């Protein structure tokens, strides 16, 4: 099998793994938690924050503050966690959703036990002036985790707070891992 097909199949496996992990996760919350319950999965169309490669800073009460680009188009959401609608009820906010925009095959970093990550899926985010970025408050969760962030540098797992998801992926896709 060609290297391109292997990379494509691995990327599809990662996406399916994310969705399976999300479907098997814990209790329902109005905002993101480390235990997810993605009931009511749907595709939202419109503006959303894509935090998958964001680097975050520690905040108060076990939260992280992540600055994420705002994109437009289709993205996956859990309507149960968004109050039943893809459209925020407040002005000046967007939701942090999941999409494959900018997804790079073979660039998923697997971070080990003993690390932490920000879980931003379905977070409510405040738009920054100009509307091209938003600030999202996301819970800080214990690893292991997988992320498309960190530039495939394993040192990033401990030196930065990356946005990720807690599900196992064999052969993360980063060369040398």
Residue-wise pLDDT tens for the chain (177 aa)? Answer: 554 444 444 444 444 344 434 333 333 334 778 876 677 789 999 999 999 999 899 988 889 999 999 999 999 998 888 888 999 989 999 999 999 887 777 788 889 899 999 999 999 999 999 999 999 999 999 989 999 889 889 999 999 999 998 876 665 667 555
- Could you tell me how many residues make up the chain? 177
Q: Is 92 within a domain?
A: yes
Q: Is 35 within a domain?
A: yes
From CA 5, how far away is CA 70, in angstroms rounded? 30
From CA 24, how far away is CA 38, in angstroms rounded? 8
State how many domains the chain has.
1
Q: Is 170 within a domain?
A: no
End-to-end CA distance of the chain: 21
Closest CA to 46 of 82, 95, 110, 106: 95
Q: Is 168 within a domain?
A: no
Q: Is 127 within a domain?
A: yes
Q: Is 174 within a domain?
A: no
Where would I find the H helices in 73-173?
156-159
Rounded to the nearest 5°, which phi and psi values hold at 44? -100, 145
Q: Is 176 within a domain?
A: no
- Domain housing 128: 3-163
pLDDT digits (tens, 9 = 90+) for 35-77: 766 777 899 999 999 999 998 999 888 899 999 999 999 999 9
Query: In this structure, are strands 161-163 and 116-118 parallel, antiparallel, or unpaired?
Result: parallel
């Amino acid at each position: 099998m060609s290297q391109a097909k292997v990379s494509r199949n691995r990327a599809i496996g990662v996406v399916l793994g994310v969705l399976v992990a999300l479907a098997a996760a814990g209790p329902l919350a109005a905002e993101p938690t480390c235990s997810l319950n993605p009931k009511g999965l749907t595709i939202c169309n419109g503006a959303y924050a894509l935090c998958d490669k964001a680097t975050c800073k520690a905040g108060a009460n076990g939260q992280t503050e992540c600055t994420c680009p705002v994109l437009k188009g289709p993205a996956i959401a859990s309507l149960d966690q968004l109050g039943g609608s893809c459209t925020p009820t407040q002005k000046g906010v967007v939701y942090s959703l999941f999409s494959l925009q900018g997804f790079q095959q073979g660039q998923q970093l697997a971070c080990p036990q003993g690390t932490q990550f920000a879980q931003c899926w379905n977070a409510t985010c405040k738009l920054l002036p100009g509307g091209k970025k938003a600030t999202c408050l996301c819970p800080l969760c214990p690893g292991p985790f997988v992320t498309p962030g960190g530039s495939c540098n394993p040192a990033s797992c401990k030196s930065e707070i990356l946005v990720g998801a807690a599900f196992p992926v064999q052969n993360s896709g980063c060369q040398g891992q």
